Structures are given as C-alpha cells and as structure tokens.
Structure 1
Amino acid sequence: MFSLLFFALLCATCLAKPGLVHFSYSRAVGGGSGSSFSSEGQGRITAVRVWEISNAYITGIQLRYDYVWSQKLGRSYGSAKEMVLFDNEVITQVSGKYHSNYIYQVIFVTSRGRSLMVGQPYQRSFNFYPTHPEAELRLLSGRYNGNGITSLGAHWGVVFMDQSNSTDNSP
C-alpha cells in the first residue's frame, strides 16, 4: 500500500511541472463606469496607439497583434500617439495616472527602455508590471463610457515561441 501511495505521489509531482506557464494580472484602477472591454489578438503585441483629449483624459487605446490591429478600446478622438515595437521588443510596464472618473495618463515601457507617454499627470499614480521576469503585456482590460477610458487593467504572460516554424535546418 505504501509503495502505491509513493508511486502516485511521484507521478503527480512529475505531471505538475511548476513554472511552465506564467500569467499575472495587474488589478484595474479607476472608477469603472461604463461598458467593459478586453483587447484580443493573435501573436505578440507589436504596436500601440493612444488617443486623448488634449489637457484632459485618455479616450481610447488600440493594440496591434503581429500585423493586425485590435478593436479600439474606448473611442478615437483627434490624432493618435503611436509606438511601433522593434523585433523582439515587448511591453514590460504600463504606468500612468487616474482619478475616480477617467484614466488621465498612460505610459507604455518596453524591454528596450523606450516609452510612449500620453495624457496628463493628474491625480493618483498606477504602475503595472508582470510578476515573472520573462512575461510581457498580453492584453488590456477595463471599462469605458461614451467619453473615454474609465478603468484599466493589464494581463501579463510568457510567450513561448513555436519552434516548429524555425528555418534552422540543423539537427
């Protein structure tokens, strides 16, 4: 009986393989009124666009996954500020400012130390980052009303590149 229990425990330990998938969530900040949103797309985030009302708050955000832009989160107002990521560059931090009614500033920081800062430094600060050192921004979620983004949260994960598409023919 003891041998059977030891064998079952050994099998369960081998199957668990801790650390293979690393996801984390940065809890949303802001008032949270309006409709909920979540970005979605296939592949890595390769660019970001942000709209704002000048000297006011963030009205919309859009992410590009590989070569396809996601739906706008919120609304576009005026011209967008945009950052296109380099090959193998990822978003490692999202920061900014918020008040009870809107997100007033958003800052995207990359693995190369570049950043896109849009909006006004007004009220409370937030700082989103992954819990795993190899994780990157995978999607944004939150809420918006007819005017702008009212809350924002970040979802992080480690992206494992598919080795089956490699052009390296070495054994």
Structure 2
Amino acid sequence: MIFLIFIALLTGTTLANDWYDSQYYSFSPQVGSGKGLSYAITGKGRITGVRVWEASNSFIYGFQFRYGHTWTTVAGRELGRKQEIELFDDEAIVAISGKYAHNIQSVVFTTNLGRSLFAGRPIGHSFNMYPENENAELRFVSGRFQGAISSMGTHWALVTEPYGTNGKYLQ
C-alpha cells in the first residue's frame, strides 16, 4: 500500500509539473478488496484509447490505455474477451462507474461526448468515479490485481497537450 501511495504521489507531482494545473487534480479512492500486486497505468498526454479484458459473466481481468499513439503495458491479465474504445479528438473520459465485490465485477468508461465502453458482469456494490472539477478528465488508474483486478482508483486532472484539446498545446 505504501508503494502504491508513493507511486501515486510521485506520478501526481510529475503530472502537476508537466500537464495540468493542480487546482484541477482530484482522486477517486479505490474500490474492491485491494489484494494482490499493485499497478498504475500512466502515460504522457491525453488518454486516446481504452482496452478492458473481461471473462464471460465474470470479472474484469485487465486494463490498458493508449496515450497519444502509444499503448501502455496491460495492468492485470489479457484473459477473456477484449473490449475497446478509441477516443475522438476532443473526447475524454469523464466518468467511470461499475460494480465490485472482492474483484471489480464490471466497469463503464464514459466520455464527454456521451459514448461508453461497458465490460463485465453488473453484480455487487455500485461505484461512481468522476473528477471534482468539470474541466478535468481521467489521467491514470491505480489499484491491485490478484488473478483479476481486485481494486481500482482514479486520478483526474486537466490535460493541455496536442491530442485534440481545443487548441491548447504544450510549447
């Protein structure tokens, strides 16, 4: 747990210096049991794609994000059916909801254009994650996995970089 907090703080500090104004940063606490190995899916710039692996009528086994044109390594496992959404220019993930018990049972990634990626089996306790500031978007996800994804938390911030952000570009 201390390692995960250290990674979140370190990554958050880097993000604060490079990509966003800290007044837009917020964190949605982890849901799930939190057992197993820790993970953090991070990258440079805006998230432009999401992949989720689900087993039929079961759990969420893995996540992968694309930042710009580069896919991250998979957090968890590539097991079961892969669901994928590629985001348009000026599209961002603005909410994540789903269900959890011991593991993450289902997840719904929702964009500012009203599109969604749904994966998993919707049973268990409900969760809803979204930024505190309406101008922020999903920056990265952290949590733990043990066979399947056992917990996840989200980090939200303003992104100003060249992948479709209303003309705001880094110099």
Q: 1:158 aligns to what? A: 158
What pairs with 1:74-153 in structure 2 (closer than 5 Å)? Answer: 74-99=76-101, 101-145=102-146, 147-153=147-153
Query: Over the residues paired in the alignment, what is the CA RMSD in angstroms?
Result: 1.5
Q: Which residue of 1 aligns with 2:15?
A: none
Query: Which amino acid is 1:120 matched to?
Result: R
Q: 1:35 to 1:86 in 2, by over 3 A?
A: same
Matched, 1:57 2:67: no
Q: CA offset at residue 44 of structure 1?
A: 0.4
Shift of 1:159: 1.1
Going from structure 1 to structure 2, the CA distance change for 1:68 and 1:164 (only over 3 Å counts) comes to closer
* TM-score normalised over the length of structure 1: 0.81
Q: Percent identity?
A: 46
* Residues in 1 aligned to 2:170 and 2:78: alpha-carbon distance in whole angstroms: 39
Question: Which runs of 5 or more residues in structure 2 are unaligned?
Answer: 1-20, 162-167
- 1:30 corresponds to 2:32: yes
C-alpha spacing 1:164/1:114, structure 2 compared with 1 (3 Å) = closer
Q: Which has the larger radius of gyration?
A: 1
Superposition deviation, residue 164 in structure 1 = 5.7
3-state SS, counterpart of residue 81 of structure 2:
coil
Tell whether the 8 Å contact from 2:46 to 2:67 is kept in structure 1 after alignment.
Answer: yes
The amino acid of 2:56's aligned partner reads: S
The aligned residue for residue 16 of structure 2 is none
Counterpart-to-counterpart distance in 2, 1:85 and 1:128 = 19
User: Aligned residues, how many?
Assistant: 145
CA-to-aligned-CA distance 1:96-129 (integer Å, 9 cap, x gap): 0000x20000000000000000001111000000
Equivalent position of 1:5 in the other structure = none
